[in-house]
Structure 1
């Protein structure tokens, strides 16, 4: 294949445009560096009328919005999914891992739930508490200044609660609980389970002239045309370009590898253009990988040379190992007191207005770490298959539902909004034998070797899921409701979703002080190649019982500041 080299030399080449890549783009370009952003998917701007899906009705889709074109529904702004034609991945030893990829400018930040939680002091040093896994080489005090900056730059609503391991921040006013959430609060109090306002990155108050304020359409998964919610493109990359940053975008460009010289230092990247199927090389003084934990690991493992025969930065043989995703299990219940509700608009933000942080002491439990509870329900606009299944009600309660025409319409109005559901999102223990590696026999449509996954849940995660199910049942009964469906048995891991399904994968390029047991140092710089950084969730040593995006953003800002300082000192 003929490879075309670009003559231009960049200060920094950033691979990936999601949370980490977007933050690196903003910080580094505004420091005066010439930046290239290489993204595997197309350009995307939610304010572009040709790309906008917000405020469209279900009937505007031939499938009534069903998830056949995109994984969470036709109108979702996720260009990709768990399966992408021509870009496979494989498994070994009968294990399962579902790998989500969102190939578009802004990556997954266009359609995520925007649950924006800080890790707490315990989350960075959990080995000191339960002896499992490893401590991070940094602590909460190292990241707090950057969490503060992220809060102020991007905006997050919530309330200061004084919880020791769920740190407070700089919050915008939270939206009020909706009726189903008031029922949840009442039911949780009966079991001494705390409920606090959610912490989510939608603007409930004006913070600058470039971004609008949430108008409660409840469609954040479609990305916001007034930029009221956080997406990397609208909140980081576009402002960097408008503020005079030297940012060149290379979209539809699939990175094959990081290129190196005879000394083994990075010289740039090679990529295949989806537009003409030709391979190109970009030159740069520094390379930042922010393509997602597994994608960045794949690029490093495919970047082999005589100086790096095991893959770039992989002399420790740790790249790809310690992969872990959040645990996830769910349950729903029918609440009779929510039947026959008056129809009114209670859409709110795109997600929950309240949630439950982890509240228990593991010394009294048979599993380590914890989980938070996410709540769903209410009377938001239904899409295909959403929220009402007459057969379920018939099966479990003998209720006279179903049919067609006016009878079905009356039943829907009678029962719609009477179901409340819960999702547990918890911490799995990082283990070396959960990993991704290069498949020796399979390539994608661009000729790039693909990833092969090996992943198993342990009894720690299964017992955590069992506790989730017991808690959800207790909450539903506290609300005077009936649990829908039987509790998933032990043989089904108590309803634990397949690893990867929560889309919180972390840990494949873990951070550490010991180059023999980690891939990057505490500044997310490869131990073996000082001009390559990893600024996605790959460096995470552990996940915590929180969503990882706010920590990706804070750490990417911290690493970018360090990178600028090192360049000024001519250490790189």
Structure 2
């Protein structure tokens, strides 16, 4: 483990905590304005083009632990340093409730291993209370964010197709890749049941956009980190280029304890613990920007309590940590009998789905609010360790369903034949939906537990409501309708009420938002519409904490757009000498 402070400076114009989507974009915008910037990251450096980090295009047998997830959350070859459980960095849960908190500990954060599904929020997504009476409207609307979405499209690159769907806004798209065989089957089946299946919107370059990044070469291994930077990761596309241009110093293995403040309650910098020598250090700045993730940012602000901020930074409203919510998620698999023993050929494509289904129904006709989108899986990517395990249950399933006995047992030529026959014949659908924010879903500081750095940890309290359970039930019905339309046989028992219809535990989709939500009223919100703290005007938040609601879309594109908006507001306020 290496640790290097890139500068002897201890005072900057801006300190940014976190190097993911929000922090990464802030580092680009703020440094290009001429400000001196320190990016403080709790994890290690990471560059997938460097041999010491490279896992792309390596064979399964090169995996030191045969693909196990004992070191990395999704296996040896995934670009995810961190996970739901990190040694020495615990979190707790209150009153038997569920919440699984994913932390990334690397430059670029979660943008190194995400699905890169890059969806804009639509006009309705900012004004849900006005539509269904639940939750709250954002203090901003789509038209406020649209110019920044447009700029993210150009800075990062996203493929897709213009569909003219009002609440699924079109962007400045690169050409989308063609559907693979399983995706063509989903598209055809969707037409039969009036369910739209359209090209995905994914931040992968299907053609070059500048001389510093190559186009995708369709290895389907974006989750490993791209050597040619053909996919979007904040470290390779935003942070590292900003460092090369100057004005940015990177501090790694730096676990932020708190934002320091003066006797007026203004932010003066941060205090962090070095993970290398376990000593505490301080950095000073005119402005502090938190982009550590919705949970980690809330934790830092709560741990920054002082005489001027007795309940945590900008928390006189008592809403810091409140309204935490994650995307809903449920899934189902099926067997395409027409695909059994299909020809084998390279069908990799991009490392994400080529087609998807946006929300297509009217909630006024349903028994739950908000919506969800569908993500489709299948095909013949390069097998990893673990592929083919569970073939005994597959044999029994095929015998029960199709009368095809498999007498060879779980070894030898018979096992190899069965694996080859089934390879490429299984398909899956996952639903990802919007939950309704609840005041009583929150994180707080555990009064008795600290991590190995002596920093008090978060305690979560979270329960799904009937809204989310009913949505998951509807997902399962949609999955079965789609599988039936495409002639696939659903595998396994249909999840019922006892399992909340297969609804994943909160936190498992890794889309948590809220905790530092924005609003016009300081009595009910932590930040204003520019993500500036109501009670500490030189403190800003650029992760998903400011979100008032989630939408049925992945949050990253909105994090990036709002980070540009907030960063340019910071520059403007510094020029006007309103802050710093």
Q: SS where residue 24 of structure 1 aligns?
A: helix
Counting only pairs closer than 5 Å after superposition, residues 315-464 of structure 1 correspond to structure 2 as 315-386=316-387, 389-398=390-399, 399-401=404-406, 402-464=409-471
Q: CA deviation at 1:188?
A: 1.4
Q: Given the alignment of the two structures, is residue 500 of structure 1 paired with residue 507 of structure 2, yes or no?
A: yes
Q: 1:53 and 1:374 mapped to 2: Cα distance? A: 25
1:285 and 2:261 are equivalent in the alignment: no
1:474 and 2:474 matched: no
Q: Aligned-pair distance for 1:396?
A: 2.7
Equivalent in the alignment of 1:135: 137
CA distance in 2 between partners of 1:386 and 1:35 (Å): 45
Tell me the TM-score normalised to structure 2 length.
Answer: 0.96
Matching residue within 523, 546, 550 for 2:553: 546
- Residues 216 and 273 from structure 1, CA distance in 2 versus in 1: closer, same or farther, beyond 3 angstroms? same
* Residue 227 (structure 2) pairs with residue 225 (structure 1): yes
Q: State how far apart, in whole Å, the 1-side matches of 2:280 and 2:242 are.
A: 28
Q: Which residue of 2 aligns with 1:163?
A: 165
SS of the aligned residue for 2:243 comes to: helix
What is the CA–CA distance in structure 2 between the aligned matches of 1:485 and 1:414, rounded to whole Å? 19
Three-state SS of the structure 2 residue aligned to 1:128 is helix
* Conserved? CA contact 1:257–1:269, under 8 Å: yes
Runs of 5+ unmatched residues, structure 2? none
Query: Within 1, Cα distance between the matches of 2:562 and 2:392?
Result: 47
In the alignment, is the contact (CA less than 8 A) between 1:388 and 1:416 conserved in 2? Answer: no
Paired residues of 2:64 and 2:76 also in contact (CA < 8 A): no
The residue number in structure 2 matching 1:73 is 75
The Cα of 1:489 is off from its aligned counterpart by 1.1
CA contact (8 A) 1:392 1:484 kept: no
Shift, 1:467, TM fit: 0.4
Task: Give the drift of 1:65.
Answer: 1.6
Alignment pair present for 1:489 and 2:496: yes
2:10 is aligned, of 8, 11, 26, to 8
CA distance in structure 2 between the aligned counterparts of 1:9 and 1:40, rounded to whole angstroms: 19
Displacement of 1:62 after TM fit? 3.5
Per-residue deviation, 1:403? 2.4
Q: Deviations over 1:454-488 (max 9, x none)?
A: 00000000000000001101111111111101111
Name 1:524's counterpart in structure 2. Answer: 531
| CA deviation profile, 1:217-253 (whole Å, cap 9, x unmatched) | 10000110110000001100112122x3300001000
Structure 1 partner of 2:241: 239
CA separation of 1:21 and 1:277: change in aligned 2, threshold 3 A? same
| Range moving further from structure 2, 507-516 or 395-404 | 395-404
How far apart are residue 7 of structure 1 and its match? 5.9
State yes or no: 1:43 paired with 2:18.
Answer: no
Q: What's the CA shift string for 1:155-213, capped at 9, x where partnerless?
A: 00000000000000000010000001111111111111000001000000010000011
Residue 570 of structure 1 is matched in structure 2 by: 577
CA contact (8 A) 1:66 1:383 kept: no
Per-residue displacement from partner, 1:239-285 (whole Å, max 9, x unpaired)? 2122x330000100000000001111000000000111100000000
Corresponding residue number in structure 2 for 1:203: 205
Q: Does the CA-based 8 Å contact 1:185-1:195 persist in structure 2?
A: yes
Contact kept? 1:82, 1:98, Cα under 8 Å: yes
Alpha-carbon distance, 1:8 to partner: 3.0
Residues 54 and 225 in structure 1, CA contact (< 8 A), matched pair in contact too: yes
The answer on whether the counterparts of 1:387 and 1:419 sit within 8 Å (CA) in structure 2 is no
**CA contact under 8 A between 2:388 and 2:419: conserved in structure 1?**
no
**TM-score (norm: length of structure 1):** 0.98
Note the aligned Cα RMSD (angstroms): 1.3
Distance 1:324 1:461 in 2: 11
User: How far apart in 2 are the matches of 1:347 and 1:386?
Assistant: 16
Q: Is the 8 A contact 1:32 1:245 kept in 2?
A: no
- 1:440 to 1:201, Cα distance in 2 relative to 1, 3 A: same
Once residues 279 and 270 of structure 1 are traced to their aligned partners in structure 2, the CA distance between those partners, rounded to angstroms, is 7
1:215 aligns with 2:226: no
CA drift of 1:385 comes to 2.5
Distance in 2 between the 1:34 and 1:7 partners? 10
Kindly indicate whether the alpha-carbon contact (under 8 Å) linking 2:168 and 2:358 is maintained by their aligned counterparts in 1. Answer: yes
